[in-house]
Amino acid sequence: MSFLLNNIVELTVTGLVLGAVYGLVALGYTLVYGVLQLINFAHSEVWMYGSFAAVWVTVALGVAPGGPVLTAIGVLLLALLAAMTVSGGIALLLERVAYRRLLRLEAPKLVALISAIGASFFLAELMGLRDRVVDFFGLRDALDPFVRSARDNTRFLNPLETQGLFSIGRYTVSNVDVIIIVGAILMMVGLDQFIRRTRTGRGIRAVAQDSEAAALMGVNRDRVIRATFLVGGVMAGAAALLYLMRFGVTRWDAGFLLGVKAFTAAVLGGIGNVRGALLGGFVLGLAENYGSALVGSQWRDVVAFLLLVVILLFRPTGLLGESLGRARA
């Protein structure tokens, strides 16, 4: 208990950082669920590919930490762009390969789920075996820095040096903490505005509320579905970079646990609810941190899922309890 109280500021800040990442990834689950009533279980891999895209940008540019600040910011922006592009692209590819035909044939949702799980394994293993893949094409030497030790942790060297900005109690909040939390909130606000103000966003809401009625308004459902996957992917890409800035490492199979946590955050906030995803992410991140401080960090994941079960027992529709469809503008 005293450990928790002595470190409450640090636990809160890092909990929020973690929660921001969960929330951004959770958006992908919640958006796709909103329009398709389907859990895109391969969304974790969308995030994982984004994280590798970010790492590879820094590898390709040969960046070392501790350079000039402006260069570092430039590199981070490039890495962000690459992560968002790759994640968005993978999400679109998933829609095309794993879902589109099944949706058109009105296959049962369980079939789409199996398809998603298959796609998830494929994508993860493809990343984990990337050295063999490039070997096969005879590109091993050319691409060595990108594929070396494919099944081990892949480190991300943050070009921006961590600097303390200000202290609260005994904890010094760093520039990286601030960037992650502010960055995540900006992305969320942007998404919220996109959903509410743009034509595509209104199309997404309409399909989520009543997809037949939306078709009667002239909404092209297929395009809305693609836009939803793309937006969810872009958010996951941003989350990937923010995650790397804090934790500094990714792996071919890192998507699984993060994906499950983000999915938990989405359900916790109320699946289908955009603001709920953010809230669920923060609640989960904080609960994990406080919980592991109380009972030991090896219990971290247990605490997270215990919380999920308890909250859902009392609020089965999640904290915000409304779907994307019913959420008021």
Partner 1 sequence: MLLEVEGLCVNYGRIEAIRDISFSVEEGSVVTLIGANGAGKTTTMKTLSGLRKVRAGTVAFAGKDITTMPSHARVPLGISQSPEGRRIFPGMSVVENLDMGAYARPDRAKTRTADLERVFTLFPRLQERRDQAAGTMSGGEQQMLAIGRALMSRPKLLLLDEPSMGLAPKLIQQIFAIITDIREQGTTILLVEQNAAQALRIADRAYILETGEVVREGSGRELAADDSVRAAYLGGDV
Binding interface with partner 1 (CB under 8 A): 199, 202-203, 205-206, 209-210, 212-221, 322-323, 325-329
Query: Is the CB of residue 39 less than 8 Å from the CB of residue 263?
Result: yes
Q: Number of helices (H) and strands (E), helices first, in the chain?
A: 15, 4
How far apart are CB 212 and partner 1 at their closest, in Å? 6
Give the nearer residue to partner 1 in terms of CB position, either 12 or 209.
209
Give the nearer residue to partner 1 in terms of CB position, either 11 or 224.
224
Please give the Cα distance from 249 to 157 (Å, whole number).
9
Please give the Cα distance from 151 to 154 (Å, whole number).
9
How far apart are CB 203 and partner 1 at their closest, in Å? 7
Give the nearer residue to partner 1 in terms of CB position, either 19 or 203.
203
Give the nearer residue to partner 1 in terms of CB position, either 185 or 215.
215
321-to-268, 310, 317 alpha-carbon distances in Å: 9, 15, 4
* Residue bearing tokens 């009972």: 295
Give the tokens for residue 243.
């995650």
Cα end-to-end span (Å), the chain: 42
CA angle 80, 151, 123 (to 5 degrees): 60
How far apart are CB 271 and partner 1 at their closest, in Å? 15
Give the nearer residue to partner 1 in terms of CB position, either 172 or 317.
317
Give the nearer residue to partner 1 in terms of CB position, either 134 or 324.
324
Running DSSP on this structure, what letter comes out for residue 173? E
How far apart are CB 197 and partner 1 at their closest, in Å? 11
How far apart are CB 290 and partner 1 at their closest, in Å? 34
How far apart are CB 194 and partner 1 at their closest, in Å? 15
Please give the Cα distance from 326 to 329 (Å, whole number).
9
Please give the Cα distance from 253 to 125 (Å, whole number).
8
